[in-house]
Structure 1
Amino acid sequence: MTGRSIPHESAALHVTGQAGYADDLPLPADALHACLGLSECAHGRIARLDLDAVRAAPGVVDVLTAADLPGVNDVSPNGLGDDPILADGVVRFWGQPLFAVIARTRDQARRAARLAGVDYDPLPHVLTPQDAQAAGTGYVTDPLTLRRGDAEADMARAPHRISGRIAIGGQDHFYLEGQIALALPGEGDEVSLFVSTQHPSEVQHMVAHALNVASHAVTVSVRRMGGGFGGKETQMNLFACVAAIAAKRLGRAVKIRPDRDDDMIATGKRHDFVVDYQVGFDDQGRIAAVQADLAARCGFSADLSGPVTDRALFHADNAYFYPSVRLSSHPMRTNTVSNTAFRGFGGPQGVLTAERMIEEIAYATGRDTLAVRRANLYRPGDLTPYHQQIEDDLLPGLFDQLEQGCDYAARRQAVLDWNSRGGVIRRGIALTPVKFGISFTATHFNQAGALVHVYADGSIALNHGGTEMGQGLHTKVAQVVADAFQCPLDRVRITATSTGKVPNTSATAASSGTDLNGMAALDAADQIKARLVAFVAERWQCPPDQVRFAPGQIMAGDTAIPWEQAIRAAYMARVHLSAAGFYKTPKIHWDRATGKGRPFYYFACGAACSEVAVDTLTGEYRILRSDILHDVGRSLNPALDIGQIEGAFVQGAGWLTSEELWWSDDGRLRTHAPSTYKIPLASDRPRIFNVALADSVNAEPTVGRSKAVGEPPFMLGISVFEAIGHAVASVADYARAPRLDAPATPERVLTAIERLRP
């Protein structure tokens, strides 16, 4: 069953509108609706908070402030206590929740929330990493430095040195389904929540703390999400807590679903970075030493900024060996919404830093960027900046195959010939790699559980700790279980993820959902299979080593027992047909204090070649063609994997081209709706788009010897950014690096063109 392109388990439901999401759940007749009242000050003390008009508004049942919370006023995922549910005395960003209105209808709650009278005593605010460094606002969490060799001395000895800076913009998750939570009060201290979250166990723990109850009193369920991309890893906690507190306080169901504007204003995003780098290299473009300081806009609290900025350092080498290196993170505190996880989790910002340095070297030496990339690729035995040894040698082969398959050399020459004729439209081409580490860098998150029931009629119920957000996780894990039992896929049904079934789960993040939950489900299936083998061997008088599972049946030597018959017989013989599976990733370890270890179980690799056309009068551009070759190991489901690669690539290209976050000087996010924030359209995809899976097998014993696919191809969108840079550089005959900042909006492209013109 694995290795086949099985349709997504909810595909038909998706396209017919029958797939149920949290907003589709029928509400009890007396259900209430909540809406948050948001601050209109970037940083200040609350001098007056007058909620009389709010309480008197039509339909309002209750209003919650920080003083009304029964437990801990905090949803920080790291236990630092710096992320309040509702502001208490001081606001630290424009859009911070101050209070929550509970009303009979959603419209009444929204209207009432606008009636508050609030006065602030303003305090100084900073919005950018540079401003934070200048003002000395400090870090939201401890920084990290990775070292290997003597970067300072080797930099001084290098034949050539370049210093530069790149500004890398953030990104809004823009999930189709926004944040939403429905809380149903139960008896005693119990409460049940139906939410859109990537981390049900964390929601459970946060709600328990906010209510001052034990975790066993809180049950969190997730059937599916309409997208997450990291934005529902920690950001759901606040909404779930508000709904749960109100539901228990009033004894009625409470639902909260913020408007898109409020959702974008009040929830965190991908971290903006400003990177100062220095690279030393020789005449052939081989890197001798690298030093870089990566400063991030983290927002007012830590959230996940520590591991995000750590992972940016882990990937600031991308696919390249740095003989000597010093990389430092600077997680800066700013008066903006607290930034959070986003597909790639800091890795894309690190990879873009590496590619900028490669680009600098190529233009300085007059070499093709691909030649410089090849000269610096990792080889087996090389050490990363965090001292993990490289064990495979996939990328040179991927480069060879993609370069030949997309006819890179001839197309690059055609681009050069086109540009040599001058003209308004310039073309650019780039072939870029990705090497992405797979595992949570917080080692304890690399565990998963699953629950498998085989019913007396032979049908199978499967539950695991992962969450489905459209990526096909449930489909893949169902394939794993069906393959283990050799039964048809329609005999396996995955039920909603629930903390009441599988406890202490990790977030569905870090591209590890299938690796972890697939192995946990396989462990559960293997336990049941072992019991069935023993039973069949005894009942049918066959040595256990001659019992095997075949399609739709269990073989006892030469005797074939239909699956349903064997299961019914096992049930009648009181064989236990349920099992809880568990898996923890082996080999990994990480010592943050020394900056050394093996934080990643393995690496997923890929390469993309993109060609663009740029209008030098307007800065506008089109992606003419993109070819991708990506390593997913032995694919569990090629159709789903190709879909993930295509989506990740387009989302990555959007991050680097059109998706621009913009704050006004007073700290107000101005790009807070589809009218001002531009995600890629269908018309923005490459005109020619070729995606292929590399013929490879994971060297590590993952489920089916597959590899993760969710995040790594996101960084292949960098090939578009680099190709735009190549087209821009043509106006100066490729003599100078274009030094584009991201996103490369038409305005930035045009500015770079004017700067480079002779």
Structure 2
Amino acid sequence: MNQQAEPFLKEVQDLDVFTQVHVSRPHESAHLHVSGRATYTDDIPEVAGTLHAALGLSAKAHAKLVSISLDKVRATPGVVAVFTADDIPGANDVGPIVHGDDPILADGVVQYVGQPIFIVVASSHEAARLGARRAEVVYEELPAVLTAQQARAANQYVLPPMKIARGEPGAKIARAVHREAGEMVLGGQEQFYLEGQISYAVPKDDDGMHVYCSTQHPTEMQHLVAHTLGVASHNVLIECRRMGGGFGGKESQSGLFACCAALAAWKLLRPVKLRPDRDDDMMVTGKRHDFHYTYEVGYDDAGTIEGVAVDMTSRCGFSADLSGPVMTRALCHFDNAYWLSDVSIDGFCGKTNTQSNTAFRGFGGPQGAFAIEYIIDNVARSVGMDSLDVRRRNLYGKTERNQTPYGQVVEDNVIHELIDELEATSDYRARRKQIDEFNANNEILKKGLALTPVKFGIAFNVTHFNQAGALVHIYTDGSVLVNHGGTEMGQGLNTKVAQVVAHELGVGLNRIRVSATDTSKVANTSATAASTGSDLNGKAAQDAARQLRERLAAFAAEKFGDGRVNARDVRFAHDRVSVGEALVPFGEVVAKAYLARVQLWSDGFYATPKLYWDQSKLQGRPFYYYSYGAAVSEVVIDTLTGEMRVLRADALHDVGASLNPALDVGQVEGAFIQGMGWLTTEELWWNEGGKLMTHAPSTYKIPTVNDVPPVFNVKLFKNRNVEDSIHRSKATGEPPLLLPFSVFFAVRDAVSAVGGHKVNPPLNAPATSEEILKAVGAVRSASADVAVAAARV
């Protein structure tokens, strides 16, 4: 081999190891976040003449609007105009699925405290807020239903009941050696995004409207604004560069704010910004659905479930919103990681005079899985076994005991290996012994330990939403611009899409820029939700980039290969193109391709395969694949005060072949803490009049950095998706939110230690200090009764 050939061969060999995926890369906007230069909707420079809007809200949970006097509102200094439902030229509706039940502005009747009645537009944000509070409204109060239990008693629902059943659960429960029945309550959760709801509407010529909106679903906002104004969709442009968090709260409920801003801008022909304060935001918007459960279960001496029936009722609020698919997903996740041979799952969507509850990270999945975990926790304590052993006994199998109650076969099960690894790395058995010794020697402080698994289905359970589009442009200097239909809310979607495109084109990540999501570029997009952002948009962008690479390869083979190189043999890596013995800079190939009139932009599209779903029967294959995980948590409680502290958490989560391990670990960490907050401190409370009293950071307790476990071990499980997902990765958005079930059941384990683990604690979620104290008292009382009964015998 001659000396001149050696460097070339080394460079060619380097092409084979080039990768921009499966490696950690910083978030594409991290430097902007930490420096304060990231542009959110409220940071966009205001157009001259911009006005500000505020909403006038209902003070009653359910009432007829007898009269509304807005004279004092209009007389407020700075107020320019006031609009009511009568001013809406098109449809007064923002219902995402059921149309007509979710008005933009109340018309004739109000259905919850905080429902918008009118819009105030003023020269400043402060003037608009002041004016909104000066309306004189006369109400005729009507009966109000506030809880899921009340809705069930009144037979009042936003949608028909749902049911999934298999086998003969009633008969199996009746014949079981052990039977148990009970009920529990799981609270809701405020999304508490750092950036609140906001829309900035700017009128354009010829009835156009450009709305900058903090939303997870630009296309839905486009449709809603168009319907409100009575114009075609092509008149409306929705743009979102980034959100300061969404968590589902900006999937459908950003619609009301977009429509109100657009209506005011349309009427006044001036730009209008609507940014509610945090209190108003929390009063107006819906949250995670809280659930009430009743159940029956039959099981054998070893804790194997032989039959189980559960009845789930959710508090949906006054309108349907997304309650239907949320309940569907709850029903489809009741099994979690467990084989249930004979099962009945009933779901009821209770209509209440409260905020219309909506999407929240997990979208009903956490509420469904929580129920079976609670039941198994009870079963384990009742048979006197470690809960981990009972969980293992009931897990799905690999080749048998592997079909879900809704008919999908579990083909990618790794939960056994994952739990094996976590049990070993967390020293579960040794710590269980140490905790038992601690509890035996401590009367006031009690420790608890729990390991809980996760199996979470990935895909929209409305099949047609599982599609995405993308545009990729290569400029003549070799730089690349990407636009896709997903939205960036801090989760790193744009970073992953940029990595996918860079890998496909064989260029450095610094060449790639992802532009703001824009309905005029990629049309008819799905929401960035259901953990599908990277799966859908990554595949669409990959499709577009692959077309460009193939065009460039064909051109390069002809231009630089002297007719001796096939386009299939041209390789792209490290910003260079290998064409036979030639190694040409990527930018040079692009520049020459332009001169040769080669198309340097392409669109891409992706539709998730293998999905089918019969909503009438609740049967089919709603999920493309499953993500798995497990976590071990150790807690300590003070039995005198109810205070609780998480001492250690170990999480092992399956993300397939991770596109970006650093981002995925961050997602798991964030989901764990968010889910922990939901299950322990984040209590939503409405007073008897239906007013949400926890409507600000002063009254609603989200986790802080001080609540993070001092020992917090997060690891990604080594795996590769069996399905052809984007580079065989798996979703990371929603599934890890179920990992902190381990925290709740560790708390329950600690409470049960008060009674020597002989009594199932009646602990509801969130496990606040008050709930823990009540449960401790109940366990002590029940233990005393057992002792008295034993003494009599």
Which TM-score band applies after superposition, normalised by the shorter structure? over 0.9
Counterpart residue number, 1:583:
606
Q: 2:73 touches 2:132 (CA, 8 Å); kept in 1?
A: yes
Counterpart residue number, 1:111:
130
Q: 2:762 touches 2:778 (CA, 8 Å); kept in 1?
A: no
Question: CA offset at residue 589 of structure 1?
Answer: 0.6
- CA deviations 1:202-230 (Å, max 9, x no partner) are 00000000000000000000000000000
Q: With structure 2 as the length reference, what TM-score do the two structures score?
A: 0.95
Alignment pair present for 1:516 and 2:536 = yes
Question: CA offset at residue 189 of structure 1?
Answer: 1.2
User: Match for 2:412: what amino acid?
Assistant: D
Please point out which of 471, 478, 484 is paired with 1:451. Answer: 471
Q: Bigger CA drift: 384-393 or 112-121?
A: 384-393
Please point out which of 463, 481, 498 is paired with 1:461. Answer: 481
State the alpha-carbon separation in 1 of the partners of residues 177 and 410 from structure 2.
Answer: 27
Counterpart residue number, 1:189:
207
Counterpart residue number, 2:13:
none
User: Match for 1:503: what amino acid?
Assistant: A
Alignment pair present for 1:47 and 2:66 = yes
- CA deviations 1:250-302 (Å, max 9, x no partner) are 01000000010000000000001001111111111011111111000000000
SS at match of 1:622: strand
Alignment pair present for 1:627 and 2:650 = yes
Q: 1:86 touches 1:99 (CA, 8 Å); kept in 2?
A: yes
Q: Bigger CA drift: 625-634 or 391-400?
A: 391-400
User: Match for 1:426: what amino acid?
Assistant: K
Q: 1:148 touches 1:387 (CA, 8 Å); kept in 2?
A: no
Q: 1:379 touches 1:392 (CA, 8 Å); kept in 2?
A: no
State the alpha-carbon separation in 2 of the partners of residues 83 and 167 from structure 1.
Answer: 27
* 1:303-382 aligned within 5 A: 303-380=321-398, 381=400, 382=402
Counterpart residue number, 1:476:
496
Counterpart residue number, 2:6:
none
Counterpart residue number, 1:501:
521
SS at match of 2:201: strand
SS at match of 2:408: coil
User: Match for 1:324: what amino acid?
Assistant: D
Q: 2:98 touches 2:320 (CA, 8 Å); kept in 1?
A: no
- CA deviations 1:526-563 (Å, max 9, x no partner) are 11112112111222222222212122111112211110
* 1:523-562 aligned within 5 A: 523-540=543-560, 541=563, 542-562=565-585
Counterpart residue number, 1:95:
114
Question: CA offset at residue 153 of structure 1?
Answer: 1.6
- CA deviations 1:281-339 (Å, max 9, x no partner) are 11110111111110000000000000001111111111001011110110000000100
Counterpart residue number, 1:672:
695
Question: CA offset at residue 574 of structure 1?
Answer: 0.4
Counterpart residue number, 2:293:
275
Counterpart residue number, 2:243:
225
Alignment pair present for 1:3 and 2:29 = no
Q: 2:198 touches 2:213 (CA, 8 Å); kept in 1?
A: yes
- CA deviations 1:630-685 (Å, max 9, x no partner) are 00000110000000000000000000000000000000000000010000010001
Please point out which of 439, 445, 452 is paired with 2:459. Answer: 439
- CA deviations 1:467-509 (Å, max 9, x no partner) are 0000000000000000001100010000000001100010000
- CA deviations 1:381-424 (Å, max 9, x no partner) are 41111011111230110111000001000001100111112321
- CA deviations 1:162-182 (Å, max 9, x no partner) are 111110000000100000000
- CA deviations 1:672-729 (Å, max 9, x no partner) are 0001000001000111000000010000011110000011000101100000000000
Q: 2:98 touches 2:321 (CA, 8 Å); kept in 1?
A: no
Question: CA offset at residue 80 of structure 1?
Answer: 2.3
* 1:609-758 aligned within 5 A: 609-757=632-780, 758=784
State the alpha-carbon separation in 1 of the partners of residues 409 and 119 from structure 2.
Answer: 51
- CA deviations 1:173-199 (Å, max 9, x no partner) are 010000000000001110001010000
Question: CA offset at residue 56 of structure 1?
Answer: 1.4
User: Match for 1:325: what amino acid?
Assistant: V
Counterpart residue number, 1:31:
50
Counterpart residue number, 2:90:
71
State the alpha-carbon separation in 2 of the partners of residues 149 and 739 from structure 1.
Answer: 29
State the alpha-carbon separation in 1 of the partners of residues 573 and 36 from structure 2.
Answer: 37
User: Match for 2:482: what amino acid?
Assistant: L
SS at match of 1:83: coil
Q: Bigger CA drift: 73-82 or 338-347?
A: 73-82
State the alpha-carbon separation in 2 of the partners of residues 99 and 225 from structure 1.
Answer: 26
State the alpha-carbon separation in 1 of the partners of residues 672 and 761 from structure 2.
Answer: 23
State the alpha-carbon separation in 2 of the partners of residues 546 and 40 from structure 1.
Answer: 70
State the alpha-carbon separation in 2 of the partners of residues 56 and 621 from structure 1.
Answer: 52
Q: 1:207 touches 1:244 (CA, 8 Å); kept in 2?
A: yes
Q: 1:83 touches 1:303 (CA, 8 Å); kept in 2?
A: yes
State the alpha-carbon separation in 1 of the partners of residues 475 and 412 from structure 2.
Answer: 43
Counterpart residue number, 1:262:
280
User: Match for 1:205: what amino acid?
Assistant: H
User: Match for 1:265: what amino acid?
Assistant: M
Alignment pair present for 1:285 and 2:303 = yes
Please point out which of 308, 319, 323 is paired with 1:301. Answer: 319
Counterpart residue number, 2:15:
none
Q: 1:143 touches 1:306 (CA, 8 Å); kept in 2?
A: no
User: Match for 2:443: what amino acid?
Assistant: G
Counterpart residue number, 1:597:
620
SS at match of 2:754: helix
Please point out which of 10, 33, 57 is paired with 2:76. Answer: 57
Q: 2:648 touches 2:710 (CA, 8 Å); kept in 1?
A: yes
Counterpart residue number, 1:21:
40
State the alpha-carbon separation in 1 of the partners of residues 615 and 99 from structure 2.
Answer: 18
Q: 2:151 touches 2:352 (CA, 8 Å); kept in 1?
A: yes
Please point out which of 154, 161, 166 is paired with 2:184. Answer: 166
State the alpha-carbon separation in 2 of the partners of residues 522 and 586 from structure 1.
Answer: 16
Counterpart residue number, 1:142:
160
State the alpha-carbon separation in 1 of the partners of residues 745 and 363 from structure 2.
Answer: 21
SS at match of 1:539: helix
State the alpha-carbon separation in 1 of the partners of residues 412 and 200 from structure 2.
Answer: 47
SS at match of 1:732: coil
Which blocks of at least 5 consecutive residues in structure 2 are unaligned?
1-19, 785-793
RMSD between aligned alpha carbons?
0.8
SS at match of 1:535: helix
State the alpha-carbon separation in 2 of the partners of residues 407 and 63 from structure 1.
Answer: 64
Which blocks of at least 5 consecutive residues in structure 1 are unaligned?
none
Counterpart residue number, 1:123:
142
Question: CA offset at residue 351 of structure 1?
Answer: 1.2
State the alpha-carbon separation in 2 of the partners of residues 256 and 354 from structure 1.
Answer: 42
Q: 1:289 touches 1:322 (CA, 8 Å); kept in 2?
A: yes
User: Match for 2:260: what amino acid?
Assistant: V
Q: Bigger CA drift: 415-424 or 519-528?
A: 415-424
User: Match for 2:286: what amino acid?
Assistant: G
Alignment pair present for 1:80 and 2:104 = no
Count of aligned pairs:
757
Q: 1:370 touches 1:430 (CA, 8 Å); kept in 2?
A: yes
State the alpha-carbon separation in 2 of the partners of residues 594 and 263 from structure 1.
Answer: 37
Q: Bigger CA drift: 209-218 or 372-381?
A: 372-381
Q: 1:87 touches 1:96 (CA, 8 Å); kept in 2?
A: yes
State the alpha-carbon separation in 2 of the partners of residues 277 and 316 from structure 1.
Answer: 12
SS at match of 1:45: strand
Q: 1:147 touches 1:595 (CA, 8 Å); kept in 2?
A: no
State the alpha-carbon separation in 1 of the partners of residues 451 and 531 from structure 2.
Answer: 24
Q: 1:63 touches 1:102 (CA, 8 Å); kept in 2?
A: yes
SS at match of 1:40: coil
Counterpart residue number, 1:247:
265
Q: With structure 1 as the length reference, what TM-score do the two structures score?
A: 0.99
* 1:199-210 aligned within 5 A: 199-210=217-228
